[in-house]
Structure 1
Amino acid sequence: MTDMLTPVLTDNWDDERAWTLASYEARGGYAGVDAAFAMEPDAVIEAVKESGLRGRGGAGFPTGMKWGFIPQDNPKPKYLVVNADESEPGTCKDIPLMMASPHTLIEGVIISSYAIRAEHAFIYVRGEVLHVIRRLQRAVQEAYLAGHLGANIHGSGYNLDLVVHAGAGAYICGEETALLEGLEGRRGQPRLRPPFPAVAGLYASPTVINNVESIASVPSIINNGADWFASMGTEKSQGYGIFSLSGHVTNPGQYEAPLGITLRELIDLAGGIRSGHELKFWTPGGSSTPLLTPEHLDTPLDFEAVGAAGSMLGTRALQIFDETTCVVRAVLRWTEFYKHESCGKCTPCREGTWWLVQCLTRLEAGQGTEDDLELVLDQCDNILGRSFCALADGAVSPIASSIKYFREEYLAHLTHGGCPFDPTASALFSVEGATA
């Protein structure tokens, strides 16, 4: 089974002091910078386009195409912003990447900035992860001292300054325009679009915003070629990715594999579901993606197949839940998170998430009638697609999908006047019973 893994970003994580410049350079680090400097910026963009790299932050938008949107005839400065505000419940790939090998990201920043002709770049990191911020700051310092950053990098005549910015700790700042607001020193709230960041982003200048994993994948593409990257994955979802398995598996952790691998294969790599239990439901891309069930175990984990199954690949945050988990309680906890993290700018999200929590709290306590399920679904329908950003859409996704697959479990709460779930039982709500 291990031949399914494709360690590229994670290949050096177990090296001694992998986070240091000396360790990274010993593996050929920063060779991709010289390879990129030997190319024209447009050729670098074209290579990333041909590789098929799609955004690893959730939406899956083609990275090279996004870079190509930057208007080079605009006289304003160009900026690259790395979105390292990893906040999605269940997502835990960018933080270990930055901790284990920050120079992989920095090299990607240099190549990406060169391609879009930016001379200033920013890494926006979630403020709570102070250990990551300190490690990145030290790695940036090492890169400056070694001549990988600053003026006339590697004698190429190209200049780049890189700033590590600590956010104030808000989930909403994972949304790219709210991130820009925070970076500019304002309250983190999404902007109305258009204009889009490629035209008027940071400081009203052309800006590319990419996820950590997206930028960190660029050096391997330049070093090994677009065809090498495109040879992995599926026809429309090419390359490799870090899959974060958490929850009720024997060995949770990061598994780097080609896109298109199935959850069944990943669970086998992780040692299976914890002993004596069975899979009940799971999230393919964090808590803001619709739930899936064991019937989807063999769905290829790529953008198209997961979408066809009714969910989203998102950040590949695979949260695994066995039969001891109450789906109503799990969904309520997620909804409480989204209510708390709503920035409050728009009414559907600000008011809608509050009301969803009220209704789900009553249902979890066994209060109300079956009609309240239709009320919750009606609320979800009124919220979906009507907010400034995708936070509200993410909040309703697990609710609607859980009612779809586990309606009987919701009704059981009403029948028993509270949560009837007995975690000592082998399977009070099997998937077959829940969807009957």
Structure 2
Amino acid sequence: MDLHLSTAEPSTAERDAVDATFALLAPAAAVPAVADRPNRAVHAGHAARSHRHLLLPLLHAVHDAEGWLSEGALNHVARTLQVPPAEIYGVATFYAMFSVEPRAPRVVHVCDDVVCGPNGGEEIITELTAALGPEGGARDTSAAPASPSGTTDAPPGGDGPVGADACWVRSPCLGLCERAPAVLHQRAGEPDLSQAPATPSAVLDTARTRADTTGDQAAEADRAFADTTVSAPQTRTGERLRLLRRVGVVDPSSLDDYRFRGGYAALRRAVDLGPSRVIAELKDSSLTGRGGAAFPTGVKWEGVAQSPERPHYLVCNADESEPGTFKDRVLMEGDPFGLIEAMTVAGFVTGATVGYLYIRGEYPLATRRLQDAISAARARGYLGGDVMGEGFAFDIELRRGAGAYICGEETALLESLEGFRGEPRNKPPFPAQKGLFGKPTAINNVETLYNVLEILDIGGRAFGSVGAGRSTGSKLFCVSGAVATPGVYEVDFGTTLRELLDLAGGVRGTLRTALLGGAAGGFVMPGDLDVPLTLEGARDIGATLGSGVVLVFDDRADLTGTLRRIAAFFRDESCGQCVPCRVGTVRQEEALARLERNAPIGSRETEIALLDDLARVMRDASICGLGQTAPSAVMSAIDLGLIASPNGHPSTNGHGGDR
């Protein structure tokens, strides 16, 4: 392939970052040399392009080192992978965490979403604007250099601007809703760090303080953060926790401690049973996917296992980005070896020798712990060419996302893994028939995989006896907002919403409503508190369990503003591939912004009629679930009369009230 490149060349640091990462991830491939002609490169294209799936790791390598992606760096990535530079640029600009413009080396991502925004996020943004300037400040090469100690000339007390050394940007949900408000520090040449609950002064101090080169400071910050974040938030006398039983108990860095607490017993049980018997246990359990689609896991695994086409692949979807969702993060941070074991079981059963763990880029602590767990398991023979000496091969490659909610959709995730923009594919064919690299692929989310360990521990029929109807086993719920103790709570399916809120310490103030199922879910009223939390129970009241979000609002909440934030989220996260979603999400947010300002075009009834029309088009004509569910919460609020009227009181629009 002829690549027509610009004359821009990478810096030495950029070239080294790309070459070192490529050599590590594709050791059998030589790094292509620069062609004789400076703006044109010709290589054996097919062999080089077979490594296109390394595009995301290469972009991360440069961005981690330099803080942005220069034209020269993108050219070098294009040469290395033999991918046209326009496609490289298209992928780089698809993700919110990448910048193709010069930018300060330290970026503070401030969550302004539905939980953090009204609970301190906007105050942090106000303070950062005063200290660091407007959003997204560019890198200024004329700024004073850092001192040998790594600090800038900015006053240590935070009274003056940091200048070119740091900037801030607004961020969608960072998955730290139980500790709102939250920020993420993305720092060139240094480990990324989460900070929650955050205060303006603490955020500025972290932005000004350079981590030491050994990473000890980052490790210490991780430990301090984890001590207050990763813990089983519920202790229920007489009831056995299943998925959360090791969180806050096991040492997440110790394989030996994991084994001491029952780790790898499930994998040994799976090997003893054999793939077909494990699938039978999964079917007996009636385990359904916990990512929202609720597809039977045993059926999915059986379809992949029986496919004659090889190779098979396994993908763990750890890209939870739904506002209000953080359950998978708690599992991965607190019990990382559990996910490694569960993926190994899935690989053994489905006949996959390689599994890809795709984790969202905003989870630095979970990413580090999982990478350490993978390395430890590989070193001890729990991953590799002969797992546990049982004669089967399985290994895991971790891939970091870079800020794209749409990549939580399974086919968009596959596109991202293959090195393309994360745009959903048309279905059928489904991934079980034609998935990653066109091969049969089993895709499961984190919570689903942890349930497999429980099934192998107690048996499929015993698992199926827990819960109600199609909803078997236990479910993790992310409870946040106006409750006394936000956190992840594990309850058996069939537990009522009232009982779940009681576990979280009860509602602070007077309950007005709760958003069930996340931004793509719907609102429930105080009269619905005794609904059983099952797939069927939620459907009976016109709601959905979705990703397990329970976001509680009291009577002081600005629900119109919340809906506008949800609409803005979907507008930003639409991949733009289809017109109904690309245009509909923009028009939806514009209408809600006008309602929030009390400046409707025509009348409020006209705006609500427009929202209804937009919802119908997006639901009926969007390619994927993002567009189809983008209006769900908005239409639920309209139906229940939760959008405030001009006098500040709820407007029923002929519908609302308690059910």
TM-score (norm 1): 0.93
**1:386 to 2:621 alignment:** yes
Runs of 4+ in 1 over 4 A off after TM superposition: 428-434
1:31 to 254, 261, 265: 265
Question: Which amino acid counterpart does residue 423 of structure 2 have in structure 1?
Answer: Q
1:169 to 375, 397, 403: 403
Q: Give CA deviations for 1:333-363 in whole Å, capped at 9, x if unaligned.
A: 1000000000000000000000011111111
1:56 to 265, 273, 290: 290
**Higher mean displacement: 80-89 or 65-74:** 65-74
2:530 to 298, 316, 338: 298
CA distance in 2, matches of 1:384, 1:94: 28
CA distance in 2, matches of 1:433, 1:105: 45
CA distance in 2, matches of 1:49, 1:60: 13
Change (3 A) 1:225 1:336: same
The aligned counterpart of 1:243 is 477
Q: Is the 8 A contact 2:342 2:450 kept in 1?
A: yes
Change (3 A) 1:151 1:71: closer
Shift of 1:290: 1.5
Q: Is the 8 A contact 1:50 1:227 kept in 2?
A: yes
Change (3 A) 1:382 1:73: closer
Q: Is the 8 A contact 2:250 2:258 kept in 1?
A: no
CA distance in 1, matches of 2:588, 2:307: 47
Q: Is the 8 A contact 1:231 1:238 kept in 2?
A: yes
Give the secondary structure class of the aligned counterpart of 1:69.
helix
Q: Give CA deviations for 1:214-250 in whole Å, capped at 9, x if unaligned.
A: 0111112112111221121112100011111000000
- Number of residue pairs matched? 420
2:558 to 326, 337, 340: 326
1:8 to 231, 239, 242: 242
Q: Is the 8 A contact 2:476 2:488 kept in 1?
A: yes
The aligned counterpart of 1:119 is 353
Q: Is the 8 A contact 1:5 1:255 kept in 2?
A: no
Change (3 A) 1:13 1:330: same
The aligned counterpart of 2:606 is 371
Q: Is the 8 A contact 1:279 1:320 kept in 2?
A: yes
Q: Which has the higher contact order (CA 8 A, sep 6+)?
A: 1
Q: Give CA deviations for 1:55-103 in whole Å, capped at 9, x if unaligned.
A: 0111111111111222634232000100000100011100110000011
Question: Which amino acid counterpart does residue 268 of structure 1 have in structure 2?
Answer: D
**1:287 to 2:522 alignment:** no
Q: Give CA deviations for 1:341-393 in whole Å, capped at 9, x if unaligned.
A: 00000000000000011111111111221222112111111211311111012
CA distance in 1, matches of 2:574, 2:337: 33
Question: Which amino acid counterpart does residue 399 of structure 1 have in structure 2?
Answer: V
CA distance in 1, matches of 2:640, 2:482: 19
Q: Is the 8 A contact 1:6 1:240 kept in 2?
A: no
Q: Is the 8 A contact 1:4 1:258 kept in 2?
A: no
CA distance in 1, matches of 2:636, 2:294: 21
The aligned counterpart of 1:142 is 376
Gaps of 5+ in 2: 1-234
**Higher mean displacement: 6-15 or 107-116:** 6-15
Q: Give CA deviations for 1:318-337 in whole Å, capped at 9, x if unaligned.
A: 11111111221111110000
Shift of 1:19: 4.3
Shift of 1:169: 1.6
Change (3 A) 1:199 1:434: closer
Change (3 A) 1:203 1:332: same
**1:84 to 2:318 alignment:** yes
**1:362 to 2:626 alignment:** no
Question: Which amino acid counterpart does residue 36 of structure 1 have in structure 2?
Answer: A
Q: Is the 8 A contact 2:250 2:261 kept in 1?
A: no
Change (3 A) 1:5 1:257: farther
TM-score (norm 2): 0.62
Shift of 1:133: 1.1
Gaps of 5+ in 1: 421-427
Q: Is the 8 A contact 1:349 1:383 kept in 2?
A: yes
Shift of 1:404: 0.7
Q: Which structure has the bigger radius of gyration?
A: 2
Aligned residues: CA RMSD: 1.9
